Structure 1
C-alpha cells in the first residue's frame, strides 16, 4: 500500500495468511493507522469477494474495505478485515470454496482466538452465495455463527431463472449468458453429488432436510440490492422465504441502482481518496458507497447486540 493515505500503515495492511487447504489476507488488523490484534477489535469483517466464482480477487475491494474500517472507527467501532482467498472455478468446483471458507473461519476462532460474536460475515454477489452456503456448513459442523451477516446483491440462484434477468437486462452490467457460463463452470462436477442434493444451487427454494433459514442465519442479516440489478427478483424471493421461517433478515432496495453499485460509485473517487494524507478528513461526497456499507454494518451490529 504505497498510497499517500496508507503509506504509514503499510505494516498492518494486506498481510497474507495460509494453511494447507485455505488462504486469505488480513486487509487490515485494526483501523488503518491504529494497529491492533484482530481478537482485540470490536468487530472482524469476514469478507467474501464476488466475480461469479470465475473472476475477481480477494484484494479487489481493498480500498473500499479500508474506507469501511475508517468510517466504523469514526463511529467508535475498531475493525479488522479478513478476506478469504477462495479458489476460483477455473481450478476448483463447488463446494471447494465452501470448504476453504469454513477452514479459514476455524483458523480465526481457534488459532487467532477471535470470538465468533465479534465476526460479521460479508459477501458480494457470488461471495454472497458463498456466505450463505458457508453458514449452512457451520450449522452442519456445529460451529458457532458470526454475530451478523451483510449480503450485497447476492447471487442466490445459480440456475439464473429470475424474471428480472429479462426485465433488467438493459439496465445492468450482468447478462444471463455470462452468468450461465460461470454457473456451469462452477457446478459442473458437483451437480450429481452432495452439492445438488443439499440444495445449494437455488437458495430461493426451501432448504432440504427440514432445515430452515432461521436455523442457518445469524441473529441479524442485512441484504442490499439495487432495483436495476438482474438478481433483484430472486433476492426478494430469498428474503421472503427466510423471513417466513422466522429469520431476522432485512432487505434494503436502492432505487435505480445496478449490480455492484456500492463499489462502482466509488471508482471515480479512489485515486483522490488515496492521495489524501492519513489525517486528512474525507469529504462527504467521496467514497459514498463504502460509507454506505460501513453505516449498514454499524446498524447491523447494533441490532445484532440488542
Structure 2
C-alpha cells in the first residue's frame, strides 16, 4: 500500500489547539531538567490523559526477568499479543503512564497488550533497553504464543526500540512477529534528518537540544549515535515483517519516519507511512481527549487486526 496522508475535512480541533497551547506554556525542557524531574513531570502529565474502563484488567507478570504487565480489555483474546514499548527517550515513561494507551489498544484490537518496563538510562545505558525488549519477546515465545500472533508496537523511543528489536531478532535468526506499529519513532539518535531543524519551530514537545540530551543519556557523551541497534535507520532493514509508521506533520522527528519507511521499501519490504496533518509528536497517546488521535487509533487498530488475523471484535479470521 502506498503512503497515505489523512486530510481532515474539518479544522484542527479545539482540543488539539488547547493541548498545543498547554505544551508551549509549560515545555518539558529535557536538556535542562534532571532525569528525576523529567520523570516526575511526565508521570503527572500522563495522568491527565486517562479514561480507562473499569472492566480493563492489569496483571503484572511475576516470572519474567523484565518488568512486564498484561493489559486485558473485556473480550480480548489470550492467543494474540501486542508487545508494547513506551516512549520517553529511553529515560522516562513507564508502564503506569501508558496504561490508558495500552487499554485502548487492547479494546480496539481484541488482543492482549503486554507492556514492557524496560530499564531506563542513564542508570542503564545501551544495550539495556534492547536486551529487555528481546527478553520480553522471547518470554512470550516460551509461554507458547506463536510468533505470527505477536505484533510489536511503540512510540517515540519505544517505536525505535520496536524496530531495533525486529532487526536484532532477525540477526539472531529467531522467528519474527507478524509486524510492527511505530508511532512517531525515534530512529536516528544522531538527529541528521532535515526535519530536526526545519520543523523544530512546529513541535511543542521535542527540541533539538532536548532530543540530543536523551541520546547522550542512553549512549553516553562519546556514544556511537549511528549504531544500528540504537538508531535503526542505519541498520540493514531487509527481511522484516510489515511495518506501519504513523507520524504528524508538526514533528521535529518527521524524517525519522520517512527515512525508515523508504529504506524498508528499498530493501523490498512492506512499510506503510501514515501522515496526519497538524498532528504533534506521539499524538495517538492523547486519544482520551483529542478527536484526531481517536481516529488515528482506529487506523492503527485496523492494521494490527489485519496482521494478527483478528476480526472486528477480536474473533479469529
Query: Is the TM-score greater than 0.5?
Result: yes
CA root-mean-square deviation:
2.8
Secondary structure at 2:74 match in 1: coil
Matches within 5 A, 1:190-209: 191=223, 199-205=228-234, 207=235
Secondary structure at 1:230 match in 2: coil
Q: Name the counterpart of 1:17.
A: 61
Aligned equivalents of 1:260, 1:129: Cα separation in 2: 13
Q: In 1, are the aligned partners of 2:187 and 2:260 still within 8 Å (CA)?
A: yes
Aligned equivalents of 1:201, 1:33: Cα separation in 2: 36
Aligned equivalents of 1:92, 1:285: Cα separation in 2: 35
Q: Name the counterpart of 1:274.
A: none
Deviation at 1:140, TM superposition (A): 2.7
* Cα shift readout 1:187-215 (whole Å, capped 9, x = no counterpart): 018836xx96x53343333x3xxxx3122
CA separation of 1:174/1:84 partners in 2, compared to 1, >3 Å: closer, same or farther? Answer: same
Deviation at 1:221, TM superposition (A): 0.9
Q: In 2, are the aligned partners of 1:262 and 1:293 still within 8 Å (CA)?
A: no
Gaps of 5+ in 1: 73-77, 270-283
Aligned equivalents of 1:33, 1:227: Cα separation in 2: 34
Secondary structure at 1:157 match in 2: coil
Aligned equivalents of 2:89, 2:271: Cα separation in 1: 23
Residue 289 (structure 2) aligned to one of 261, 268, 272: 268
Q: Name the counterpart of 1:81.
A: 113
Q: Name the counterpart of 2:30.
A: none
Q: Could you tell me the TM-score, scaled by structure 2's length? A: 0.74
Alignment: residue pair count: 262
* Cα shift readout 1:171-196 (whole Å, capped 9, x = no counterpart): 1121011111110010018836xx96
Secondary structure at 2:96 match in 1: coil
Secondary structure at 1:225 match in 2: strand
Matches within 5 A, 1:1-306: 6-7=53-54, 9=55, 13-19=57-63, 21-28=65-72, 32-34=73-75, 38=78, 41=79, 43-72=80-109, 78-110=110-142, 112-172=143-203, 173-188=205-220, 191=223, 199-205=228-234, 207=235, 212-215=236-239, 217-218=240-241, 220-264=242-286, 266-268=287-289, 287-301=294-308
Q: In 2, are the aligned partners of 1:22 and 1:104 still within 8 Å (CA)?
A: yes
* Cα shift readout 1:43-91 (whole Å, capped 9, x = no counterpart): 210000000111111232222322232223xxxxx31110111011132
CA separation of 1:91/1:118 partners in 2, compared to 1, >3 Å: closer, same or farther? Answer: same
Deviation at 1:99, TM superposition (A): 0.8
Q: Name the counterpart of 2:313.
A: none
Q: In 2, are the aligned partners of 1:67 and 1:287 still within 8 Å (CA)?
A: no
Deviation at 1:5, TM superposition (A): 6.5
Aligned equivalents of 1:65, 1:254: Cα separation in 2: 21
Q: In 2, are the aligned partners of 1:227 and 1:253 still within 8 Å (CA)?
A: yes
Aligned equivalents of 1:20, 1:66: Cα separation in 2: 21
Q: In 2, are the aligned partners of 1:262 and 1:289 still within 8 Å (CA)?
A: yes
Aligned equivalents of 1:134, 1:114: Cα separation in 2: 17
Between 153-162 and 284-293, the greater mean CA deviation after superposition: 284-293
Gaps of 5+ in 2: 1-49, 311-315
Q: Name the counterpart of 1:279.
A: none
Q: Could you tell me the TM-score, scaled by structure 1's length? A: 0.77
CA separation of 1:132/1:286 partners in 2, compared to 1, >3 Å: closer, same or farther? Answer: closer
